[in-house]
């Protein structure tokens, strides 16, 4: 007996339609392919469907010539993250075309469309980026999945910044800020996105002269991740920290000096000449001639 027949007969016995079976797990198209074409979904989706039908993998395993790899799709999505973060778009189209979106979980769909939005934004295709970020937001119906919601709001704010649409910028940054204490990015590859977003959000609140929120975000961004600081974006966070301190005449001078020194060190490491020039201008503006790092 083929796997499709097994699923279909069990579903009918339980008086479930395809929509009932797929709800909250996958699309109805996945069920249709599984039952009518014997096309297996990813293993995590398969397990959830089996649980809903009170089946075990042993009931269906022999019907597959090869059980799908749980990590195959995740590996492709991770590869796209790496390429996006290094701005290497050479094979992204090929990777995307090789992913069957019908086999993705809700979180994977949100992740993928965030990636598509990011690629479009980096290529200045802002209309496409807005569509993809909104698509990512729409597929997230689980309140526990806030990471991609947070990043999509930041992505939309970034786009409207480039369009100088301040009201929309503020709207999306404020939406993103609501989730800041719910984000837990343990994976290094995702932490890049998180730290990039923290930078954007902190810069926004600095520009708005909301220095309390800016400082709180800086502290989150400068908190060691898995025991170390990421060089990327840390230079700008230290620069923002120093810039924020300079708004307070009573700020600790030693801390200010430390932040500027760290900003210079990380900017030099990152070969971020643009930021080094900004730091130099800031020091000249405030007549800062000597720097000391904390012991």
Closest C-alpha among 147, 138, 154, 152 to residue 204: 154
The model's pTM = 0.75
The pLDDT score that the predictor gives to residue 183 is 86
The pLDDT score that the predictor gives to residue 57 is 63
Rounded Cα distance between 127 and 132, Å, is 9
Which residues have a Cβ under 8 Å from the Cβ of 161 and sit 6 or more positions away? 169
Q: Which residues pair with 228 in a beta bridge?
A: 225
Please give the C-alpha separations between residue 155 and each of 49, 71, 186, in angstroms, as whole numbers: 33, 27, 21
The pLDDT score that the predictor gives to residue 242 is 97
Q: What ranges make up the beta strands (E) of 55-149?
A: none
The pLDDT score that the predictor gives to residue 66 is 45
C-alpha torsion angle, residues 26, 32, 36, 40 (rounded to 10): -10
The domain made up of 3-61 has a fold known as 434 Repressor (Amino-terminal Domain) (1.10.260)
Number of neighbours of residue 48 by Cβ within 10 angstroms:
17
Per-residue model confidence as pLDDT tens digits over 160-193: 999 999 999 999 999 999 999 888 776 778 899 9
SS3 267: helix
Longest dimension (CA), the chain: 81
Residue ranges per structural domain of the chain: 3-61, 71-183, 196-295
Rounded Cα distance between 241 and 235, Å, is 10
Please give the C-alpha separations between residue 223 and each of 70, 181, 228, 231, 237, in angstroms, as whole numbers: 32, 13, 8, 12, 11
The pLDDT score that the predictor gives to residue 63 is 44
SS3 188: helix
Q: Which residues of the chain have pLDDT under 70?
A: 1-4, 43, 57-71, 141-144, 186, 294-295
- Give me the DSSP letters along 198-240: HHHHHHHHHHTT-HHHHHHHHHHHTS-BTTB--STTHHHHHHH
């Amino acid at each position: 007996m083929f796997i499709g027949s097994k699923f279909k007969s069990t579903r009918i016995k339980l008086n479930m339609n395809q929509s009932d079976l797929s709800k909250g797990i996958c699309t109805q198209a996945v069920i249709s392919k599984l039952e009518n074409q014997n096309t297996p979904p990813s293993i995590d989706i398969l397990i959830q469907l089996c649980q809903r039908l009170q089946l075990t993998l042993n009931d269906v395993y022999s019907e597959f010539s090869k059980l799908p790899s749980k990590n195959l799709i995740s590996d492709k999505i991770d590869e796209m993250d790496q390429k996006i973060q290094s701005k290497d778009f050479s094979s992204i189209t090929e990777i995307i075309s090789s992913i069957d979106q019908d086999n993705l979980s809700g979180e994977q769909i949100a992740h993928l469309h965030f990636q598509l939005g990011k690629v479009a934004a980096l290529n200045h295709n802002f209309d496409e980026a807005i569509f993809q970020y909104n698509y990512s937001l729409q597929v997230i119906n689980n309140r526990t999945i806030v990471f991609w919601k947070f990043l999509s709001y930041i992505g939309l704010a970034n786009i409207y910044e480039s369009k100088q649409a301040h009201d929309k910028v503020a709207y999306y940054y404020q939406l993103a800020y609501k989730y800041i204490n719910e984000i837990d990015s343990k994976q290094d590859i995702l932490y890049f996105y998180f730290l990039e977003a923290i930078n954007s959000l902190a810069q926004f609140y600095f520009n708005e002269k909301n220095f309390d929120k800016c400082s709180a975000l800086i502290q989150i961004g400068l908190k060691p991740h898995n025991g170390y600081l990421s060089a990327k974006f840390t230079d700008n966070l230290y620069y923002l920290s120093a810039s924020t301190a300079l708004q307070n005449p009573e700020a600790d001078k030693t801390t200010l000096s430390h932040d500027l020194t760290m900003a210079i060190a990380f900017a030099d490491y990152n070969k971020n000449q643009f930021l080094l020039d900004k730091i130099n201008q800031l020091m000249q503006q405030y007549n800062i001639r000597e720097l000391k790092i904390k012991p």
